Amino acid sequence: MPTRPENDDTATAPMEGFAALGLDPRVLAVLTALGYEEPTPIQRAAIPPLMNGRDVLAQAATGTGKTAAFALPLLHRLRPDAPHRERTTALVLVPTRELAMQVAEAVYRYGKSMGVVAVPIYGGAAMEGQIRSLKRGADVVIATPGRALDHLRRKTLDVSHVRTVILDEADEMLDMGFADDLEAILSATPTEKQVALFSATLAPRLTAIARSHLRDPQIVKIDAESLKAGRSAKVRQVAYIVSRAHKMQALGRILDVEQPTSAIVFCRTRTEVDALTETLNGRGYHAEALHGGLSQDQRDRVMKRFRAHTSELLIATDVAARGLDVSHISHVVNFDVPAAAEAYVHRIGRTGRAGRTGVAITLAEPREHRMLRNIERVTGQPIEVANVPTVADLRARRVELAQGALREAILAGDLDPWRSVVSALADEFDLVDIAAAAIKQSPLAGADEDAAEIPASAPVRERHPARAREAERAERRAARPEGDTPREKKVRAKPTWAVAKLYVGAGRKASLRPGDLVGAIANEMGIDSDAIGAIQIWERHSVVEVPETIADDIIAALSATRIKGKKVMVRRDEERGH
């Protein structure tokens, strides 16, 4: 079965669907070979104006086929076989290195027969190799904003001939603090160019960028309600209220009952990913970790095994899993409730694809019950709140699985080698007792090693919002040091893990903002932004709280990159007077 680079939930319609769009015959031939049949709604709406040279402002969620929506017309207009063509005429900006690799692979596959050269550039990889690739020439460059800006300043990336710029998942880039980088990159490209902006949401910050850099854009908006309606029938959404102390045990119990064929478990930090992977492998599952601490080769091997069903569970952070294309996922598990409803929608959109049914499971702490209700309001879909399976539930499920396995074995036949054993025992024991003993000794019976019940947890009663806001303001006032006061402070929930404070040698004099630090750390380390604690911006330096377990890794990563376009000193904060 051919692999589709993006979630193209294609119908069994004739190939004329793509042919009618007027794409280059060589591109159509590739689509036929890949098994594409009918354009998705975003492809049908965005491809024609992009092929005609129009700017496009498109709102479409992850998993709607938007990579092909901008890549196919980009290749059609690129014409790499034209005489005297200039190099690097298309630039695609994406939020993460994983998505950069994903888009580069898709562009290469679509344009292989046309001789298209696509080069991905992103942070966390050696500059030398990327510089060599760019010197050899690239028709399309797919880049994360920070690394693109680094290459521009080094003059190793020439965008003077760029005729098309694509901003993919623009909302995610803004959330990661890349607004200034995007402005700088767009300003460095020629004034006369085509710009397309794709985003899951159209926040005011995005519309401001659109007003500055898009000319009379074609507005493309895929009806979110129709997407929700299509998903709701295919994805069963359920949440379990459980304390953090019992989450690991609860997840193991839930997986034992659900028996997923393949599942992605989302965690907030790579430390949590590693711990959970080890625990689940200890329970007999074949689990693989995917996070920013892995090299690209390691990630490729992990994904190859997961796609081949060699491993059944993929334990991942949001950033590491963004842009992954896997069509056979039966379950998505949120080990923690996502902070934003959009993140929840992106996650569960990876199951229930291509007409299949899927299951979305969320483990929520009692205090997170309100966040579940907020997700329900935003998505318009109910989330069933269920009790963690009991020991009795687990045993009943094992009996059900054993009955199914025995039924299959009986129907398959080939039981003659074992009949002599049964005949020898039948003279002494009842046949039913013999069969029961055989099942008891087999792996089908399972083990009751975690026979202790998991305590049920009730949602925490919350304070009135006005009182909660006042309490937060009081906490901030109490925490503010005397004398010099920071311009901004990122207020986050107090972390439940050990934190380390890092000193960053840039502050408000360098126009540094909390979002810049969040974006730099999240992109370089591949961790969720929720893992980053309080941030204080002073005149000439800043202080940021990060998980203690990866503090040294973050220091090394930030020391090797640029923040606001400059190399800065990063070390552990010695907590002297500021």
Dist. CA 527–CA 262, nearest whole Å: 23
Instruction: Give residue for tokens 């001789």.
Output: 115
Report which residue type is found at 578. H
Backbone angles phi, psi at 92, to 5 degrees: -115, 125
Overall size of the chain counted in residues: 578
465-572 — its CATH code? 3.30.70.330
Ordered DSSP codes for 317-328: EHHHHTT---S-
**Token duo for residue 80:** 């790499």
List strand residue ranges (DSSP E) for 69-202, in order: 90-93, 118-121, 140-143, 164-167, 194-199
Distance CA 430, CA 434 (A): 6
DSSP 498-542: -EEEEEES--GGGT--HHHHHHHHHHHHT--GGG---EEE-SS-E
pLDDT tens for each residue of the chain, 578 residues long? 334 444 443 333 334 578 888 888 888 888 877 667 678 788 889 999 999 999 999 987 665 678 889 999 998 887 655 544 567 899 999 988 878 888 898 898 888 888 889 999 998 788 888 999 999 889 999 999 999 999 999 999 999 999 999 999 888 888 778 888 999 999 999 999 999 999 887 777 788 888 889 999 999 987 544 444 344 447 889 999 888 888 888 898 888 888 888 899 998 888 888 889 998 988 888 999 988 778 878 888 888 888 888 888 999 887 666 656 676 788 999 998 886 676 788 788 778 765 567 899 999 888 777 778 878 877 778 888 888 887 776 677 666 666 666 777 777 777 777 777 778 777 788 878 777 777 766 655 555 544 566 655 555 444 433 334 444 444 444 444 444 444 444 444 445 567 888 999 888 888 888 888 888 887 776 666 667 888 888 888 899 988 887 887 788 778 877 787 788 889 888 654 44
Q: Is 194 helix (H, G, I), strand (E, B) or coil?
A: strand
Provide the pLDDT for residue 354. Answer: 54
Contacts of 427 (CB under 8 A, 6+ apart): none
The CATH number assigned to the domain with range 16-222 reads: 3.40.50.300
Helices (H), 387-542: 391-412, 416-426, 431-441, 465-479, 514-525
Q: Are strands 313-317 and 287-290 parallel, antiparallel or unpaired?
A: parallel
Spatial distance between the Cα atoms of 99 and 122, rounded to a whole number of angstroms: 10
Record: fold of 227-390: Rossmann fold (3.40.50)
Do residues 379 and 341 make contact, with C-beta atoms less than 8 angstroms apart? Answer: yes
Query: What residue type is 387 in one-letter code?
Result: N
Angle at 551 between CA 547 and CA 556, to 5 degrees: 150
Amino acid residing at 363: L
pTM of the model: 0.47
CA distances from 475 to 22, 469, 472 (A): 61, 10, 5
Taken in order 3, 4, 6, 12, the sign of the CA dihedral is negative
Closest by CA to 124, choosing from 106, 155, 150, 156, is 150
Cβ proximity of 545 and 573 under 8 Å: no
Instruction: State both tokens at 72.
Output: 């196919």
Contact 360, 348 (CB under 8 A): yes
Q: What is the pLDDT at residue 325? A: 63
Q: Where in the chain is the domain with CATH 3.40.50.300?
A: 16-222, 227-390
The segment(s) of the chain belonging to CATH 3.30.70.330 are: 465-572
Whole-number Å distance between alpha carbons of 486 and 306: 46
Spatial distance between the Cα atoms of 345 and 230, rounded to a whole number of angstroms:
13
Contact indicator for 316, 265 with CB cutoff of 8 Å: yes
In angstroms, the CA 82 to CA 68 distance is 23
Distance of CA 339 to the CA centre of its chain: 14
Query: Tell me, what's the pLDDT at 465?
Result: 39
Nearest of 442, 461, 541, 447 to residue 501 by alpha carbon: 541
Structure tokens at 95: 């939020």
Cα–Cα distance between 268 and 435 in angstroms, integer? 47
Element spanning 342, H or E: helix 341-348
Report yes or no: 8 and 68 within 8 Å, Cβ to Cβ: yes
pLDDT score at 193: 93
